[in-house]
Structure 1
């Protein structure tokens, strides 16, 4: 049974990667600051959670996780921030006033409050490179794969630092010749199981409506709209695509949003 290590395995996407890995027969270890499993909805099947090894680690302290990488066949970096505003994750999943949470979501960050835990450069780029370098130095597996959760494109209102940090990480990771690097580029993600009425759900509905209008009414013929109006995708589909790619020993490179949406 091949070992799969997921950094950020209890996060929004990370939990679905762990679940898909267990379902595919992998030995899965999740590393996160808390080391705790995620909270699932009451109706979800939780049997897979007991099969994951949930451990605590600090991404910027390789000694806290390097032993877990030695026998890993694949490592997945599922950490990242969309905004440097530290409150955005709680806002996007909040069930309170949509208008109030949307204003909190868009609130700009204070440059003076940036730390290693809330800057694009540190979380989206440096942590991934550090993890990959540590994996490269410690792994004993043949043809090891490293998966980086990148992004499809930026969109209006989102700081350029977000997409820039993702592309910079891809470039640096591509230079690590001893790893089979895989770059996953999803768009706005939602969870198929969660049906809560929160800001994430509202954004999904808006993006889906805009994409439907662009494709159905305009025929997708306006290039600039096609750049900014992109389909949403479920975390389950992204997770399944990741497992599929790491199981292909010859695959490396970019997996675009269009690739992820293929059935």
Structure 2
């Protein structure tokens, strides 16, 4: 009798399993816990979308054939950017191989029509334009020329603009009045036109290996030890009149790294970055 009951129970279990399998094949699943039937979860293959690659950032360096500008061009190329340079003399006199990868434009920032073509397709601008001379000349080259560039870039829809300005040097500000008045006028224009993408770098003395024709002038021989000493003497900057003379020099490579990062990193904070900020940001690895 017990054997017969066992066979009947085994037979019913087998039938239940068979029913569940058959039902599952028909696209339904039997829930044995509640005896309710649920619809199966159907997974469809995702459609492949051929999205275009992100656009390449195109950087325009104003004064790219100068001491600071050439280092910025090299840094930008190393970052994989498309780089163009605009200056009054056009192509750099440097014979280094990297110069062949730059698009060189010749134009005068005081004459807007001579260089509008250089802004075509540009996403960011870095200006290294500046110079010395009479007060009127210094205001034009440091102020008016850069203001023209800032306005043209804004009208063209450029997203970010970085301006290499200069730190205050106390007494020197009065001696080079046109120089500093021009710099500050350009800074004001930049932060007005580019409130979210404008960055002003204010380095002091910039050192590094400067090329003059076939000669290499190692300014780091003086700059490196001065930077090491003065970067720990920040309190001296607060001394009236002469305090700014203790502003530490900064390596041209550091300026180039921070300038390119500021021009291409959308989360880089806008505003004025002093020499200590340049040192700090240059030590951060770019993502």
Q: TM-score range by the shorter chain?
A: 0.7 to 0.9
Aligned residue for 1:9, secondary structure, equals coil
1:130 alignment counterpart = 148
TM-score by length of 1: 0.72
Structure 1 residue 28 displacement after superposition: 0.4
Residues 240 and 207 of structure 1: CA distance in aligned 2, closer, same or farther (over 3 Å) = closer
Aligned partners of 1:177, 1:190: CA distance in 2, in Å?
A: 29
Deviates more, 1:7-16 or 1:158-167: 158-167
Q: Give ranges in structure 1 of 5+ residues lacking alignment.
A: 41-45, 85-108
Alpha-carbon contact 1:214-1:220 (below 8 Å) kept? no
Residues 166 and 221 of structure 1: CA distance in aligned 2, closer, same or farther (over 3 Å) = closer
The counterpart of 1:189, out of the listed 196, 206, 210, is 206
Alpha-carbon contact 2:227-2:249 (below 8 Å) kept? no
Residues 146 and 215 of structure 1: CA distance in aligned 2, closer, same or farther (over 3 Å) = closer
The counterpart of 1:174, out of the listed 178, 185, 191, is 191
Aligned residue for 1:153, secondary structure, equals coil
1:154 alignment counterpart = 169
Deviates more, 1:184-193 or 1:156-165: 156-165
Deviations 1:121-164 (A, max 9, x none): 1011111110111112223x5xx111111111125454233223
The counterpart of 1:62, out of the listed 112, 115, 123, is 112
Aligned length: 219
| Higher RCO, Cα 8 Å, sep 6+ | 1
Aligned partners of 1:207, 1:160: CA distance in 2, in Å?
A: 28
Q: Give ranges in structure 2 of 5+ residues lacking alignment.
A: 1-55
CA RMSD of aligned residues (A): 3.0
Residues 221 and 124 of structure 1: CA distance in aligned 2, closer, same or farther (over 3 Å) = closer
Asked if residue 78 in structure 1 is aligned to residue 95 in structure 2, the reply is no
Aligned residue for 2:129, secondary structure, equals coil
Asked if residue 230 in structure 1 is aligned to residue 247 in structure 2, the reply is yes
TM-score by length of 2: 0.67
1:121 alignment counterpart = 139
Aligned residue for 1:152, secondary structure, equals coil
The counterpart of 2:78, out of the listed 7, 15, 23, is 23
Deviations 1:182-208 (A, max 9, x none): 10111101124769796x849x73895
Structure 1 residue 253 displacement after superposition: 1.0
Residues 50 and 152 of structure 1: CA distance in aligned 2, closer, same or farther (over 3 Å) = same
Aligned partners of 1:130, 1:252: CA distance in 2, in Å?
A: 20
Deviations 1:153-180 (A, max 9, x none): 1254542332232122111222215772
- Which structure has the greater CA radius of gyration? 2
Aligned partners of 1:214, 1:252: CA distance in 2, in Å?
A: 24
Residues 9 and 206 of structure 1: CA distance in aligned 2, closer, same or farther (over 3 Å) = closer
Residues 6 and 173 of structure 1: CA distance in aligned 2, closer, same or farther (over 3 Å) = same
Aligned partners of 1:210, 1:147: CA distance in 2, in Å?
A: 24
